[in-house]
Chains A and B, each alone.
Chain A
């Protein structure tokens, strides 16, 4: 049986500082995080001891390659909803807490957006007149610089990594037909501009390898970072670096939901007989992104061909059989998993008939329709800067400025639940323990990371509470305990640590 697909989304936001000569993105990002912290006034640092971004899932460790930088001097903190909020590679980054279901991951991703909005407002109060920091939830500056939106899924360590790679690859190459955030033009320097007026994905231009460890250069479709942030003998964390940051709740929900289903099927051996492989995944990833008709065939490894829609259809059919065989328990909520399946089918069907049917649901369709409408109304060419500006401003997260929000898209979530998720942790993962300890005992929490918390009781030594199982430390496990303890010392005594 596949294990629960504990999941989460981490987003590096684009950042602009206005009204300041020679703006520095690291300073601007730090200002944002600090401004937010001064709002909530609970500063707890991040503990780096267990970070090992250079361990490769294929079974070796490299210490000479371009190490993903761990910039310990940069600001880095934990929020009471269990998320990590920090400065990474000159961007503010919000890593959602561990979530129990794809819908919950969507909710905590949107809560992150709200954290960013509040940070911007708080920063504005300390900046001079005419100065502001603006944040964009996108993945490219349109000049060849990209920053990521990564997903994470808990998997059973027993599944061979090579099997995950081969069985997920065709799915990853094609899921952008509903998960793409859309982009005007291309950043591939060698392509004539008129060849790609618009594409499905923000990120497809930036992938150069099929499999690998890097995340900032030579990005691979399947990332091999083996850093489970949990008991490495039992768990793997599949780190997915391929996706776009989505504005649409539907796009995020479908992206995380369908991926979680596919990974569960792989874990249960349900795709062993699927027998599809894309001949050249990297060029095909771009070909799919550039094909707005969704109908151009991709060459498969056996010499036949299939469209992105057909490949997705194959995974969907397998998923329906999987559901019929009672396979969806690992999605955490059976009704929700069925909703993912229903939506997946509906969206593939709509995409086949006419993608514009999904203009109020999917990011790339909404954006394409908007830039096309503007272009027709003003009779301008695809390389007119107004269209590029609309593309960028689609992702502005300020509600008044954001063209995504101005379009009034269909929603899956209610504002009230997002508001709660800004401060309250998910109840069914260890994020609950992290968030609640922070809310109640912040002055005694010396540091935290994904798989442990370190308490300072004012006496030596510091006390580390390991959290090696993402499914322990839930509200069911610890809520009563945390409520009943008045001090951190009591809590640690009760935990026996």
Chain B
């Protein structure tokens, strides 16, 4: 039983609470920023993506290596 507890306790639950409280506003801000950046990329991604996705994926063939 004691050993079982060790496994549980050493997960990061302790720091979880601290991190959550301390950085709630910072993390909301950050996740909004991340979302805006992702949306920007999704808006323009079709211009960047290889023209024919199916052909590009099919033609990407490598010899095996290490």
* B57 cross-chain contacts in A, Cβ below 8 A: 142, 385, 388-389, 392
> What is the CA–CA distance of A352 and B17 in the complex, to the nearest angstrom?
11
Q: What residues of chain B lie closer than 8 Å to A304, measured between beta carbons?
A: 3-4, 7
* A401 and B48 contact, CB distance less than 8 A: yes
Q: Name A26-85 residues within 8 Å CB distance of B.
A: 68
Q: Are B65 and A392 in contact (CB under 8 A)?
A: no
Contact partner of B10 (CB less than 8 A), chosen from A25, A314, A360, A407, is A314
Q: Give complex CA distance A369, B4 in Å.
A: 35
The CA-CA distance from A68 to B42 in the complex, in Å, is 43
The answer for the CA separation of A184 and B27 in the assembled complex, in Å, is 27
**A residues 336-363 touching B (CB-CB < 8 Å):** 345-346, 348-350, 352-353, 356-357, 359-360
Give the contact-size bracket for chain B: 35 or more
A141-B61 contact, Cβ under 8 Å, with A349-B16, A407-B37: yes
Are B53 and A389 neighbours in the complex by a CB distance under 8 Å?
A: yes
Instruction: Please encode chain A, from 129 to 145, with 1 for each CB lying within 8 Å of some chain B CB and 0 for all others.
Output: 00000001000111101
Please state if A353 and B10 are interface contacts (CB–CB under 8 Å).
Answer: no
Bound-complex Cα distance A369 to B13 (A)? 24
Q: Identify A14's interface contact among B19, B37, B62, CB under 8 A.
A: B62
Chain B residues, CB < 8 A from A377 = 42
Residues of A within 8 A of B53 (CB): 385-386, 388-389
A146 at the binding interface (Cβ < 8 Å): yes
Residue of A nearest to B4 (CB): A304
Whether A89 touches B66, Cβ cut-off 8 Å, given contacts A16-B60, A314-B7, is yes
| Interface size class, chain A | 35 or more
**Residues of A286-324 whose CB lies within 8 A of B:** 304, 306-307, 309-310, 313-314, 316-317
* Residues in chain B near residue A88, CB distance under 8 A: 65-66
A269 CB contacts on chain B under 8 angstroms: none
Q: For the complex, is A91 an interface residue (Cβ under 8 Å from B)?
A: yes
Let me know if A15 is at the binding interface, CB within 8 A.
yes
Q: How many angstroms from the CA of A241 to the CA of B65 in the assembled complex? A: 11
- How distant is the Cα of A16 from the Cα of B61 in the complex, in angstroms? 8
Query: Does B50 reach chain A (CB closer than 8 Å)?
Result: yes
Closest Cβ neighbor of B15 among chain A residues: A349
8 Å CB interface, B5-55 against A: 7-8, 10-13, 15-16, 19-20, 27, 30-31, 34, 37-39, 41-42, 45, 48-50, 53-54
**Known contacts being A352-B11, A392-B56, is A357 close to B63, with CB within 8 Å?**
no
A400 to B7, CA, bound (A): 46
Take A309-B11, A389-B50 as given contacts and tell me if A25 and B16 are in contact as well, using a CB distance cutoff of 8 Å.
no
Task: List residues of A whose CB falls within 8 A of some B CB.
Answer: 12, 14-16, 25, 68, 88-91, 136, 140-143, 145-148, 150, 215-216, 241, 304, 306-307, 309-310, 313-314, 316-317, 345-346, 348-350, 352-353, 356-357, 359-360, 369-370, 373-374, 377, 385-386, 388-390, 392-393, 400-401, 403, 406-408
The 4 closest A-B pairs by CB, nearest first: A147-B65, A148-B66, A89-B65, A389-B53
Residue contacts A-B, CB under 8 angstroms, 21 given? A14-B62, A16-B59, A88-B65, A90-B63, A91-B65, A147-B66, A150-B66, A304-B3, A310-B8, A310-B11, A346-B19, A349-B12, A359-B34, A360-B30, A370-B42, A374-B45, A386-B49, A393-B48, A401-B48, A403-B41, A406-B48
